[in-house]
Amino acid sequence: MADKEVPVHPTAKQLKLFSPFNKQSEQVLAKIAEKALLRPLRHGEFLFKEGDTETRTFFLVSGEVEMTPAGGSAIAVSSISPQSIKALSNDKPRRATVKAVGRVVVIEMDDEVLNTVAQSIHSSSYKVDDISVAQEDDWMTRFVQYLDALKLPVQNIQYVMSHLQEVPVRKGTVVVRQGDIGDHYYIVKKGVCKVVWQAQPGAKPVELVTLKEGAGFGEEALINDGKRNASIVMVVDGVLMRLDKSVFISQVVEPLLSYVIYRDIEKHLGKDALLVDVREPNEANRSHLQHTVNIPFKMLRKVAPTLDPAKHYVIYLDRENLKVTAFLMTQFGLRVSVLKDSFDDILSMVTNYTSVPGVE
């Protein structure tokens, strides 16, 4: 999405996803929104640096930032991580440096506005039960924020939320098993899961990462009708929210996919458009068209944040991963389309093609 397409002010709905605004009425939020701005950032752009003293507050709407505390190591904070429900490192002077990783959008407001909101909340009376419910619903806030960041229509978001099923899960349960066919998308409502991978049957399982409350998993196998590429195991007793594959595809994936034919984008290639091949380099180098960037599928999440958001990326070849590649790249704020033409069809339209080195 180009910068000029980003609204000047956030909506009341966007503000309500963040604390302390989630306790305010729509009418109050509409007035607050008039005093806030939506600010886009490009990859590598600093939001603020350690020691800065400007009196502004920032909330992460979409994308991912790298936060480096004073004397500490950099950590990644995404718009769907639990900590992003609050302002980004709001101490003054700043105790951390924050910069964009890929395409990012934040809400920016003057500290005076935030202080006014905080005072109004402090003067109101809330029951302990109300606060507990708000904390328990953080997973929902993160998931709705994730769907909103994808620019899904409101009716799609409402449909998805109404079709989620709650599933209690015991410690040690294998929620999805590597190699099985996927039939649901999952969100961690309560508890912790671990992602476990085996290089081959009989090999020692390797724990890759843990998934905490608000994290989602399982989309890749659903989108490409493939098999689960890892197992998900509950570390403690917990609760998952489950969404049927048909709902996930029709309401979340399909609305985001754009299709083009080669003739329509040919004149833009090498200028404002690039072809994307997600095969392994040794295979891609044998049959690449010109103006192609090779990003092996397994490196997609690592490379996508570094790509130029001003370009139009067109996925071709590797029919198995076309949709999931487009979906994953879209989540990084990139303009992405899927090429309808087969490779053989394209070759009949061009006079030559060349190989391009793979991404290391």
Domain residue spans of the chain: 3-151, 157-254, 257-347
Let me know if the fold of 157-254 is the same as that of 257-347.
no
Question: What's the confidence (pLDDT) of residue 209?
Answer: 80
Question: What's the confidence (pLDDT) of residue 115?
Answer: 65
Residue 360 has pLDDT above 70, yes or no: no
Question: What's the confidence (pLDDT) of residue 229?
Answer: 84
pLDDT digits (tens, 9 = 90+) for 31-50: 888 888 888 888 999 999 98
Question: What's the confidence (pLDDT) of residue 1?
Answer: 42
Q: How confident is the model at residue 314 (pLDDT cuts 50, 70, 90)?
A: very high
- What homologous superfamily does CATH list for 257-347? Rhodanese-like domain (3.40.250.10)
CATH of 3-151, one of 1.10.8.60, 3.40.50.2300, 2.40.50.140, 2.60.120.10: 2.60.120.10
Of residues 314 and 328, which shows the higher confidence score? 314
Residue 90 has pLDDT above 80, yes or no: no
Residue 123 has pLDDT above 70, yes or no: no
Of 17-26, 156-165, 255-264, the range with the lowest mean pLDDT is 17-26
Mean pLDDT of 4-23: 73
Q: How confident is the model at residue 166 (pLDDT cuts 50, 70, 90)?
A: very high
Residue 137 has pLDDT above 60, yes or no: no
Of residues 230 and 347, which shows the higher confidence score? 230
- Taking a C-beta distance cutoff of 8 angstroms, is the pair 1, 335 a contact? yes
- Taking a C-beta distance cutoff of 8 angstroms, is the pair 37, 107 a contact? yes
> CA 285 → CA 278, 296, 318, distances in Å?
11, 12, 14
Q: Which residues pair with 107 in a beta bridge?
A: 38, 59
> CA 282 → CA 208, 330, 342, 356, distances in Å?
26, 26, 20, 10
Q: Which of 274, 262, 286, 269 is nearest to 358 (CA)?
A: 286
Mean pLDDT of 8-13: 82
- 173-208 burial, b at 16+ Cβ within 10 Å, e below that, comes to eebbebeeebebbbbbbbbbbbbbeeeeeeeeeeee
Residue 133 has pLDDT above 50, yes or no: no
Architecture label for domain 157-254: Sandwich (2.60)
